[in-house]
Structure 1
Amino acid sequence: MFDIVIIGGGAAGLGVAQAINKRQKGLKIAIVEPAIQHFYQPAWTLVAAGELNIKQTVQPMSKVMPSFVEWIQSAAKIFYPDKNSITLENLDILQYRALIVCPGLCLNWSAIEGLEETLGKNGVTSNYRSDLSPYTWQLVQQLKSGVALFTQPAMPIKCAGAPQKAVYLSCSHWEKNKKLHNIKVQFHNAGTALFGVAYFIPILKQYMDRYRFNLNFSSNLIKVDGTNKIATFAHAHPDGSIVSSEIAFDMLHIVPPQCPHPFIANSPLANAAGWVDIDPYSLQHMRYANVFSLGDAASSPNAKTAAAIRKQAPVVAINILSYLSGLSNKAIYNGYGGCPLTVENGKIVLAEFAYNGVLDPTFKFLAPHIPRRFNWFIKRHLLAIVYWHGLLRGREWLIKTKTIND
């Protein structure tokens, strides 16, 4: 029997555990997490640009797991929220007073025919896997001419700007080395907009024009023939028809379709889309008052980023302690998300926004749409410190959490 069980030992699980302990020590907390390594995933785009070594993005899970929790090295299997219990993959049964569900999401590589057989070879790569982001950098360096394809699947995905970052940083390298004019770059976006917040689209279009890459909307990658280096896309037309086309490539950077984990989607905790069904402001479950969620598994319509988790963790901590203590005060999450858009090597557009696309910049004296070297310095040197020594250690730097009384 635990006071609090946390499903997932990623940024959300570790961050919220620290936020709870910061406010009330002595609670019996368990974290259910099978992985033995913990990755700082936002750095993988920099690995793919030759700016970092992949070893700089990983720590042993034992090093980042808080000493005040019981680490259970298994995974959740079946939720019984009416009984306040969970059955794990190892068949252990956990009882709880309150539950936090934050296991992240599922990268659905198998949704693209032929992809899994060719990942990491034949010029096919992805920055969404730690072992492949170094291969991206290898391909970018080797490519002198030919066709480079970059994809973005349907939303929601983690870090919605990451597919574009791969394009911009690759093009920036080719431009610097005077190879860009020999490379035909195409960006295939399954959606209908370049970015979810319209304010930032004009500056992104300027970089698209600068790099001369071809932008394709409503274009979804459905098949990869790695041996023959052919990618097949399904193009949705306004009249509802779908036409497929085959494109030969020399380099193909893929962002996989993403979905809820099946053990979440098939549980009583899920909404119709398979995400944990929570109030977007309190992050409390819509039907089970002692269940909370944050991070990529949650149904809240914010950008799925580590920056969002930094703001969500204190909200869940305050609200779960309020629930356990029978108090009425509640913390409010405004939907904050942050996306450092690496439009070129050395400059970043720091996109920060809340629900409904409302701008929410940390540095309010700076115009958010301007690419800055200052933002690159933050991304390249400071954000990893904020992650490893801030979020994962319970230090809530530059965070103000709004609270109300019911």
Structure 2
Amino acid sequence: MNSQKICSPGCINFISQISRSFSKSCAKESQKKCRLLVIGGGTGGCSTAAKFVRKLGAGNVTLIEPSDTHYYQPMWTLVGGGIKSLDDSSRSMKSVIPSGCEWIKDKAVKFDPINNTVTTAHGTNVQYEYLVVAMGLQLNYGHVTGLLEALERDPAVVSNYWDKSLVKTFPALQKLQSGNAIFTFPNTPIKCAGAPQKIMYLADDFWRKNGRRENINISFNTALGVIFGVKKYAERLSEIVKKRNIGVNFNLNLIEVKPDSKEAIFAVTNSDKGETKSVKYDFLHVTPPMSSPDALRESTLVDQAGYLNVNKETLQHVEYKNIFGIGDCTNVPTSKTAAAVAAQAGILRTNLGAVIDGKPVQSLVC
């Protein structure tokens, strides 16, 4: 026998009131407004928020950042080299976001510059008067076949660009007694283009001091045709690798890692025949391919390469004049480093401040 429970009219009325109240509460939570919205809690985002909280006052600046921890990533080379610990490079995100700035602990997933709105992963729509995009770069480990599996399974495969792998680097250096040590550089723009070589030189020094260097063959396999993008430094680095007996192999882009057979597969970038090269490794430090974050790259805010399309002399978006950018996610032709962010910060403060005050922007040079 089927049974049914029937609510009384009073019960139905009570439920309707609760439902309407809940709906209003949800609507309130999913809609926010601010004068300035900053996307990203890295160096560029936090410094921008701090400056404009002072200018606009508490409650007028909102920052969207999903992470609980803020890392000073320039220190990560030293962590990988056993000189610093990961904890030395970290602070709680809460501690670095300026007082008076509202923190939305979520991820920006959609940009609507026509309606001055950003949507988060949890469905919050944030409407802004001014927007600063400081999202940094996305690490695309999954673009290299087998790499994520290798980073998880093989203690000899490491990467200083990811905190979970970074802590493996120095133990792997300590363990290696002999064999092939390979350091890679991808075919995309990356943050801190010197970092892939910095850890290589620290490893070379460590193995020399421990009397193992003669038994270890070090190779720098780069997808580029030069050892470094700035000619002045490339010339000096070429002398250094020669003196240290480090092999440099140009036009090799890592496309696959086979942890079971300890093979690294490289595409030959200057070949039009689809050539590949397989190299056995005993230690492999990988710099992953990088890009702007998916949400930004899929928006209307980017150039053809997928980076935030700003005027390089003002940091103002070329189309949407209430939008500015700073750091690695922009198409400004500087290195993607904390030093570049420091240089850009003053330009951003000057020009965003001018727009807020109804004044013209200034053409400045990073």
TM-score by length of 2: 0.88
Question: SS state of the match for residue 275, structure 2?
Answer: strand
71, 75, 99: which one aligns with 2:131: 99
Find the counterpart in structure 2 of residue 247 from structure 1.
279
259, 268, 282: which one aligns with 1:226: 259
33, 38, 48: which one aligns with 2:70: 38
Confirm or deny that 1:302 pairs with 2:334: yes
Confirm or deny that 1:62 pairs with 2:94: yes
CA RMSD of aligned residues (A): 1.5
Find the counterpart in structure 2 of residue 48 from structure 1.
80
CA positional deviation for 1:194: 1.1
CA positional deviation for 1:54: 1.1
Counterparts of 1:309-388 in structure 2 under 5 Å?
309-330=341-362, 332-334=364-366
Give the whole-Å Cα distance in 1 for the aligned partners of 2:319 and 2:278.
Answer: 47
Aligned 8 A contact 1:19 1:313 in 2: no
Superimposed CA distance per residue, residues 52-109 of structure 1 (whole angstroms, 9 cap, x where no aligned partner): 0111111111111111200011111211111111122111111111100111111000
Find the counterpart in structure 1 of residue 321 from structure 2.
289
Find the counterpart in structure 2 of residue 179 from structure 1.
212
CA positional deviation for 1:200: 1.1
Aligned 8 A contact 2:314 2:361 in 1: no
CA positional deviation for 1:250: 0.5
Larger Rg: 2
Aligned 8 A contact 1:318 1:331 in 2: no
Superimposed CA distance per residue, residues 367-389 of structure 1 (whole angstroms, 9 cap, x where no aligned partner): xxxxxxxxxxxxxxxxxxxxxxx
264, 276, 283: which one aligns with 2:308: 276
Aligned 8 A contact 2:158 2:166 in 1: yes
After the TM superposition, which segments of 4 or more aligned residues of structure 1 sit over 4 Å from their partners?
A: 22-27
Q: Aligned partner of 1:46: which letter?
A: L
Find the counterpart in structure 2 of residue 114 from structure 1.
146
90, 105, 128: which one aligns with 2:122: 90
Superimposed CA distance per residue, residues 331-375 of structure 1 (whole angstroms, 9 cap, x where no aligned partner): 6232xxxxxxxxxxxxxxxxxxxxxxxxxxxxxxxxxxxxxxxxx
Question: SS state of the match for residue 83, structure 2?
Answer: coil
CA positional deviation for 1:147: 0.6
Superimposed CA distance per residue, residues 299-349 of structure 1 (whole angstroms, 9 cap, x where no aligned partner): 111100011111112211211110011112526232xxxxxxxxxxxxxxx
Q: Aligned partner of 1:35: which letter?
A: S
Superimposed CA distance per residue, residues 175-221 of structure 1 (whole angstroms, 9 cap, x where no aligned partner): 22221111111111001111111111222112201221111111001
Give the whole-Å Cα distance in 2 for the aligned partners of 1:106 and 1:97.
Answer: 27
Q: Cα 1:243–1:329, aligned 2, differ >3 Å: closer, same or farther?
A: closer
TM-score by length of 1: 0.79
Gaps spanning 5+ residues in structure 1: where? 335-406
Find the counterpart in structure 2 of residue 14 from structure 1.
46
Q: Aligned partner of 1:9: which letter?
A: G
Aligned 8 A contact 2:142 2:148 in 1: yes
Confirm or deny that 1:216 pairs with 2:249: yes
Q: Aligned partner of 2:262: which letter?
A: K
159, 165, 172: which one aligns with 1:132: 165
Give the whole-Å Cα distance in 1 for the aligned partners of 2:108 and 2:56.
Answer: 26
Give the whole-Å Cα distance in 1 for the aligned partners of 2:144 and 2:189.
Answer: 17
Give the whole-Å Cα distance in 2 for the aligned partners of 1:292 and 1:35.
Answer: 22
35, 55, 66: which one aligns with 1:3: 35
Aligned 8 A contact 2:50 2:97 in 1: no
Q: Aligned partner of 1:40: which letter?
A: Y
Question: SS state of the match for residue 184, structure 1?
Answer: strand
Give the whole-Å Cα distance in 2 for the aligned partners of 1:48 and 1:86.
Answer: 36
CA positional deviation for 1:3: 1.1
Confirm or deny that 1:28 pairs with 2:71: no
Give the whole-Å Cα distance in 2 for the aligned partners of 1:220 and 1:304.
Answer: 20
Give the whole-Å Cα distance in 1 for the aligned partners of 2:111 and 2:342.
Answer: 26
Superimposed CA distance per residue, residues 285-312 of structure 1 (whole angstroms, 9 cap, x where no aligned partner): 0000000001111111110001111111
Find the counterpart in structure 2 of residue 168 from structure 1.
201
Question: SS state of the match for residue 131, structure 1?
Answer: helix
Aligned 8 A contact 1:16 1:314 in 2: no
Tell me how many residue pairs correspond in the alignment: 333
What fraction of aligned residue pairs are identical, expressed as a percent? 34
Q: Cα 1:39–1:273, aligned 2, differ >3 Å: closer, same or farther?
A: same
171, 176, 179: which one aligns with 1:146: 179
Q: Aligned partner of 1:129: which letter?
A: W
Superimposed CA distance per residue, residues 101-149 of structure 1 (whole angstroms, 9 cap, x where no aligned partner): 1111110001100111110442100000112222111111111111111
Gaps spanning 5+ residues in structure 2: where? 1-32
